[in-house]
Amino acid sequence: MVAALLLLLFLAPLHAQVNIETYRGKRGVTGAARLALSSDVGNIDVVKGEGSGHITVNTARGVLLGVCKGGVGFLGGERFANSGVLHLRWTATASPRWRPEFFAQTDYAKSRRLDNRALVGTGMRYNAYAAEKSALSLGAALLWELEDLNLAPGDPHPATTQLMRLSSYINLSLQGRVGFATTAYVQPALSDPSDVRLLGTTELTTPIVGPLRQTTTLDFRIDSAPPRGVEKKDIKFGTSFGVEF
């Protein structure tokens, strides 16, 4: 199981946004790995695969989180989708309600013409409500972002951008026989508030047997100023199987 997780962390080439709220673990070292594979054969030959893994180190002083997700797709033997992300985050836990955070991320996504994106940021998380099986949290952060794009011919969009964004989020999680977690982000650019991104993830996780879990995920992404040939709205629905430790 640990070997499978390490394989994902190093080889999983993603969908764009990391929902860090679904990865916050209990005290100690926790983690999980997920895999999803689908194939269509006939009029259209399509093969798609996705994987993700995370490790959380939860101490008395803070929480260190590492997440890696990846996806690849082939249409008629030709690769048509390829994406990956690596996200690292440290959250100080001295206060039960106000918690400073520091994070860094790198990702790429062929479907969005994104060759590379790197960001670093810091912010504050507020735990508005926390109980044994439910929690409500709010957060705000300032991040610096660098993007390199593979533009279509004639696209006036800048091939490389560097800017500061404000990233605000709200998260709700409920744990019962079925786990539920949802997070929504708003990320406007400070230099141009009309340049805004809305991102969100909702997950339903059902235990199967032992550490085996089935997770259904709905992701959405809205970009007010994408490069030419990329839709402003992107919605993804999927299911995967994985293990937790």
SS3 163: strand
Q: Can you tell me which residue has the tokens 């995967």?
A: 240
SS3 23: helix
Q: How far apart are CA 120 and CA 89, in angstroms?
A: 10
Q: Are 128 and 136 in contact (CB under 8 A)?
A: yes
Write out pLDDT tens, residues 201-244: 999 999 999 889 999 989 899 999 999 999 999 888 888 888 88
Residue 79 has pLDDT above 90, yes or no: no
Write out pLDDT tens, residues 91-150: 999 898 999 999 999 999 888 899 999 999 999 999 999 898 899 999 999 999 999 999
Q: Decide: residue 35, CB within 10 A, 0-12 exposed, 13-18 middle, 19+ buried.
A: middle
Write out pLDDT tens, residues 166-181: 999 999 999 888 999 9
Instruction: Give the least confident one: 30-39, 66-75, 106-115, 209-218.
Output: 30-39
Q: How far apart are CA 243 and CA 13, in angstroms?
A: 20
Residue 9 has pLDDT above 50, yes or no: no
State the chain's mean pLDDT as an integer.
84
Mean pLDDT, to the nearest integer, of 57-62? 90
Local confidence band at 13 (pLDDT 50, 70, 90 cut-offs) = very low
| Residue ranges making up the domain that contains 132 | 2-244
Q: How far apart are CA 214 and CA 206, in angstroms?
A: 5
Domain count, the chain: 1
**CATH number of the domain bearing residue 84:** 2.40.160.40
